[in-house]
């Protein structure tokens, strides 16, 4: 079995899934900054400009994300989104996972062809040829792929993507002699979870744990950043004029009573750059092998508290009351929609279930995270106060 080489040695090859999602794009940039050789699995070779990676990943930067240069392009692949960004909402319409020609794209990396070494492998988790090429010669697999919402008629179910997809990649990795595996999971993952999302994440974890590889698993809470789908959704909710289709209030899923009077579960938002750091740091940090890490920020917030912070700091935000939509009602509507194949609803029944649960880390878990990675986690309001005013 190959050993991971010294940091900065471009001979260390990383096989990365989910590279064009919110979290994946930040992890990819961190890998480039540390001079790793990277292969990424992508669904299409249609180039799109990747914004907010070089400048807006740092909330202290004064450069707008629109300043991203045209040569910094990346393949769009929404099905490989790092799904832990938003465990309770703000997913997007997913494309069906079909059979993609088994071809290897010889493109250099999407950021700067002269400075980094990477290749894009066209395919998906259900194309054996693509997986074989992705892990060929790899030292480490970083697996981020997941979905936050099911579309069964398109072949996108939690079981298929989270469990079967992970198992297929594990088979390919072991066959290729890969030794190191780093897995994206989610806070709240457990065998007896109420949501199928968390139960299938747990099944995927078990497959990794039982693989015989040197694994590390991360369970993030809500991941935030100015370029994330969730924060863009919140920006729209707090700033869009009613006359242009905005709501006069900010909705959240609440438990109890006809009007959902309780606040539902709490969340513990973690900055995307902190998530990217621990993923990349784990590659060569041997003490992280065999560990499952809870990843969260320092603040435990109710949904109204989270929205209030965004309202205070996001550009163009208006004063709008957060009003709870009863979970029982929202879940019923979602189940009916799912039963008849309606995909236009902006949330699924599983998301409603998860919104009613606390999505917070244990104090012990966060101590271990900080000690093993030397992490200095920043508060949610502190960060939104820096990047929120620049969101457009």
Condensed to tens digits (0 to 9), the pLDDT of residues 117-164 reads 678 999 999 999 999 999 999 999 999 999 998 888 888 899 999 999
pLDDT at 29: 96
Q: 3-state DSSP call for residue 151?
A: strand
The pLDDT > 90 percentage for the chain reads 57
The pLDDT > 70 percentage for the chain reads 77
Q: How many residues does the chain have?
A: 392
More confident residue, 185 or 326: 185
Alpha carbon distance 10, 326 (integer Å): 53
Mean pLDDT of 103-129: 64
Partnered with residue 38 across adjacent β-strands are 14, 118
What's the sign of the alpha-carbon dihedral 166, 171, 172, 174?
Answer: positive
Alpha carbon distance 392, 390 (integer Å): 6
Mean pLDDT of 7-29: 87
pLDDT at 280: 98
What's the sign of the alpha-carbon dihedral 369, 36, 163, 264?
Answer: positive
pLDDT at 341: 79
Which pLDDT band holds residue 271 (cuts at 50, 70, 90)? very high
Mean pLDDT of 351-377: 90
pLDDT at 136: 97
pLDDT at 166: 98
- The pLDDT mean for the chain works out to 80
CB 278, CB 343: distance < 8 Å: no
More confident residue, 52 or 112: 112
Closest of 171, 102, 107 to residue 135, by C-alpha: 171
pLDDT at 247: 81
Domains of the chain: 13-390 (3.40.50.720)
pLDDT at 88: 36
Q: How does strand 214-220 pair with strand 223-224?
A: unpaired
Q: How does strand 322-326 pair with strand 250-254?
A: parallel
Q: Whole-model pTM?
A: 0.81
Mean pLDDT of 228-251: 89
Which pLDDT band holds residue 262 (cuts at 50, 70, 90)? low
pLDDT digits (tens, 9 = 90+) for 285-300: 999 999 999 999 999 9
Residue in this structure with the two tokens 């297929």, named with its chain if needed:
168
pLDDT at 162: 97
């Amino acid at each position: 079995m190959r050993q991971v080489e010294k940091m900065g040695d471009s001979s260390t090859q990383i096989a990365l899934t989910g590279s064009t999602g919110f979290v994946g794009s930040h992890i990819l940039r961190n890998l480039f900054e540390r001079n790793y050789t990277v292969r990424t699995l992508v669904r299409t070779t249609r180039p799109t400009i990747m914004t907010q990676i070089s400048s807006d990943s740092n909330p202290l930067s004064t450069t707008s994300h629109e300043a991203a240069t045209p040569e910094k392009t990346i393949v769009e692949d929404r099905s490989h989104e790092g799904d832990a960004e938003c465990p309770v909402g703000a997913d997007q319409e997913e494309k069906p996972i079909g059979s993609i020609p088994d071809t290897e794209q010889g493109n250099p990396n999407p950021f700067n062809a002269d400075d980094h070494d990477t290749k894009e492998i066209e395919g998906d988790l259900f194309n054996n040829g693509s997986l074989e090429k992705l892990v060929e010669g790899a030292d480490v697999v970083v697996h981020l792929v997941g979905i936050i919402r099911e579309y069964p008629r398109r072949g996108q179910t939690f079981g298929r993507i989270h469990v079967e997809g992970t198992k297929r990649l594990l088979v390919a990795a072991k066959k290729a002699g890969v030794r190191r595996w780093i897995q994206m999971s989610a806070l709240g993952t457990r065998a007896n979870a109420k949501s199928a999302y968390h139960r299938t994440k747990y099944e995927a974890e078990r497959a990794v744990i039982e693989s015989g590889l040197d694994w590390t698993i991360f369970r993030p809470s809500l991941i935030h950043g100015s370029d994330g789908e969730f924060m863009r959704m919140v920006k729209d909710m707090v700033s869009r004029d009613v006359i242009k289709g905005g709501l006069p209030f900010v909705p959240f899923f609440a438990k109890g009573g006809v009007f959902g009077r309780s606040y539902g579960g709490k969340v513990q938002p973690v900055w995307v750059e902190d998530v990217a750091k621990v993923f990349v740091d784990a590659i060569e940090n041997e003490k992280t092998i065999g560990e499952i890490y809870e990843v969260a920020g320092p603040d435990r917030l109710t949904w109204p508290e989270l929205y209030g912070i965004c309202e205070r700091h996001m550009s163009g935000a208006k004063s709008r009351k957060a009003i709870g939509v009863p979970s029982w009602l929202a879940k019923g509507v979602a189940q009916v929609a799912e039963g008849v194949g309606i995909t236009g609803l902006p949330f699924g029944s599983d998301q409603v279930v998860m919104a009613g649960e606390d999505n917070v880390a244990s104090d012990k878990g966060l101590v271990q995270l900080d000690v093993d990675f030397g992490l200095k986690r920043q508060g949610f309001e502190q960060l939104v106060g820096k990047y929120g005013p620049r969101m457009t």
